[in-house]
């Protein structure tokens, strides 16, 4: 045995080292497409974390603008100006904003947006539901930079009103999906053989 505790002979070290052998097998069995997808997922997870950190630092007014931009990008409220005019009518207890569900304003969605570090409790959801009841509203979205306690999620799931809960991670994912607060840095096009091209006419 060597002074470093490796009893494997030098000439057989590559074949008798289980760890290096396993790594080689794993690498050989992974396709280039799978490695690209894995790297893409790693980059996306890093971006989600960066976005959540950025949202935690912005001031409350800017956070409301981010939420407004996202809702418009998702197809709610019509134009940015129309959506902004609607949200200016907010200010009721328990409600931060109200936005048209469609361009014609056939229905509205009430919004609560909280830039919090602590988790949202059931009590906060109950207060929001109470504010909706005061408006005779049936749809609401509660958005937070943090997370929801399990009892808050269970309570929202059992309501007859449609209450959507968006936590910090989901908010960041939606921002990436709809291009809010992010910019494309690189784009890669992966090509493959066009079998139809080489088939005989």
d(C-alpha 60, C-alpha 58), whole Å: 7
Going from N- to C-terminal start, the domains of the chain cover 50-177
Task: Please check the confidence at residue 8 and state whether its pLDDT lies above 60.
Answer: no
Share of the chain above pLDDT 70, in %: 80
* Range in 15-19, 101-105, 126-130, 194-198 the model is least confident about: 15-19
- Residue 4: predicted pLDDT: 42
147-200 per-position pLDDT tens digit = 999 999 999 999 998 999 999 999 999 999 999 999 999 888 889 999 999 987
Contact between residue 119 and residue 148 where contact means Cβ atoms under 8 Å apart: yes
Task: Please check the confidence at residue 135 and state whether its pLDDT lies above 80.
Answer: yes
State the distance between the two ends of the chain, measured CA to CA, in whole angstroms.
68
Rg (CA), the chain: 26
More confident residue, 81 or 67: 67
* Share of the chain residues as helix, strand and coil, in percent rounded to the nearest 5: 50, 10, 35
Alpha carbon dihedral 30, 34, 39, 42, in 10-degree steps, equals -100
Strand pairing report for 97-100 and 162-166: unpaired
Mean pLDDT of 104-108: 79
Band of residue 95 on the pLDDT scale cut at 50, 70, 90 = confident
Tokens matching residue 38: 């894995």
More confident residue, 78 or 163: 163
State the architecture of 50-177 in CATH terms. Answer: 3-Layer(aba) Sandwich (3.40)
């Amino acid at each position: 045995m060597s002074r470093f505790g490796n009893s494997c002979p030098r000439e057989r070290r590559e074949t008798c080292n289980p760890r290096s052998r396993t790594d080689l097998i794993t690498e050989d069995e992974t396709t280039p497409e799978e490695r690209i997808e894995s790297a893409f997922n790693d980059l996306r997870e890093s971006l989600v974390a960066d976005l959540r950190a950025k949202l935690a630092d912005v001031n409350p007014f800017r956070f409301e603008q981010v939420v407004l931009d996202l809702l418009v990008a998702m197809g709610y409220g019509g134009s940015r100006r129309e959506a902004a005019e609607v949200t200016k009518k907010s200010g009721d207890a328990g409600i931060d904003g109200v936005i048209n569900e469609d361009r014609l304003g056939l229905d509205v969605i009430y919004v609560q947006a909280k830039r919090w570090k602590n988790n949202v409790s059931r009590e906060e959801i109950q207060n929001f539901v109470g504010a909706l009841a005061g408006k005779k509203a049936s749809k609401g979205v509660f958005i937070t930079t943090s997370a929801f306690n399990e009892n808050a999620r269970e309570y929202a799931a059992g309501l007859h009103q449609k209450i959507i809960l968006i936590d910090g991670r989901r908010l960041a994912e939606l921002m990436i999906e709809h291009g809010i607060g992010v910019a494309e840095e690189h784009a890669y096009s992966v090509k493959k053989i066009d079998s139809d091209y080489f088939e005989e006419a």
